[in-house]
Amino acid sequence: MQPVAQLLPALPTVTRDLMGTGVSFALLLLVLPSWVRIRWGTRHPWRELGLSGSRKGPQRSRALLHGLGLAAALLLLISLISLGGHWGYWLGDLTLPELINAVLLGFGVGFVEELLFRGWLWGELTLLIGPRRAMPIQALIFSLAHTRFNLGFWPMLGLLLGLFLMGMALAMSRRLHQGSLWGCIGLHGGLVGGWFALQAGLIQWSPQSPLWLTGPEANPLGGLVGILAMMVVLAFQLTALAKAARP
């Protein structure tokens, strides 16, 4: 963040970036409630964004745990295939600072990005183009925002598709939890923090690991296993929504 770099030039780049991100997030939290209150015409901005509302604390906790459990199942699938195919080797060497880093990274990224994409962006798109088109459009924007375009055509296409499916699954998660963002935060944060923990010291992946397993740039969502897993998650979510809609 340029202002931080000018004010504190002696700080390491990583520290300046973290401070810049923290300042940006603090400004977002200050501005967003007023924006939603005026733009969306509501007196309860945090409820509309999915962070609070009539749902009780234990219900929000269950939604969060449901998302974390789903993320753990997806990462376990990739880990078992890696270990079973001898493309990865179990180390089990995760230090306490690395564990804390994984938890903070997962919760931080999950909270911020879900507030932005499944909270604010989805709400804005719903006002502009209606709920039916808003869901895939928010997933497409989420995918484009997280994809690197220097990977080559097929790896880039796989990552775009995997991230799009993830954006759809996260939106479905919010619907299943009656508008609450906490299930989305659990799933998104669990995937980010869990993958960091696996790479930090739990599993050593072989350089010969196939791209269809680990995905481009070590992002499993762009691999065949990640794409198929997200499709299965979406299928279960659609089935659950259909059952919930029955009288």
Query: Domain check: are 83 and 24 in the same one?
Result: no
What is the extent of the structural domain holding 177?
55-245
pTM over 0.85: yes
Q: How far apart are CA 125 and CA 139, in angstroms?
A: 11
pLDDT of 194 > 60? The answer is: yes
Asked if the structure places residue 173 within a domain, the reply is yes
What is residue 109's predicted lDDT score, i.e. its pLDDT? 92
pLDDT of 1 > 50? The answer is: no
Residue pair 182/203 in contact (Cβ under 8 Å)? The answer is no
Asked if the structure places residue 211 within a domain, the reply is yes
Asked if the structure places residue 61 within a domain, the reply is yes
Q: How far apart are CA 190 and CA 108, in angstroms?
A: 11
Q: How far apart are CA 224 and CA 176, in angstroms?
A: 26
Q: What is the mean pLDDT of the chain?
A: 88
Asked if the structure places residue 186 within a domain, the reply is yes
Left, alpha or beta for 223 (phi > 0: left; psi -120 to 50: alpha)? beta
Q: What is the pLDDT of residues 41-62, one digit of tens each?
A: 999 999 999 998 655 556 888 9
Q: What is the pLDDT of residues 152-193, one digit of tens each?
A: 899 999 999 999 999 999 999 999 998 999 999 999 999 999
Asked if the structure places residue 49 within a domain, the reply is no
Asked if the structure places residue 153 within a domain, the reply is yes
What is residue 162's predicted lDDT score, i.e. its pLDDT? 96
Query: Domain check: are 167 and 69 in the same one?
Result: yes
Q: How far apart are CA 7 and CA 217, in angstroms?
A: 34
Asked if the structure places residue 45 within a domain, the reply is no
The total number of structural domains that make up the chain: 2
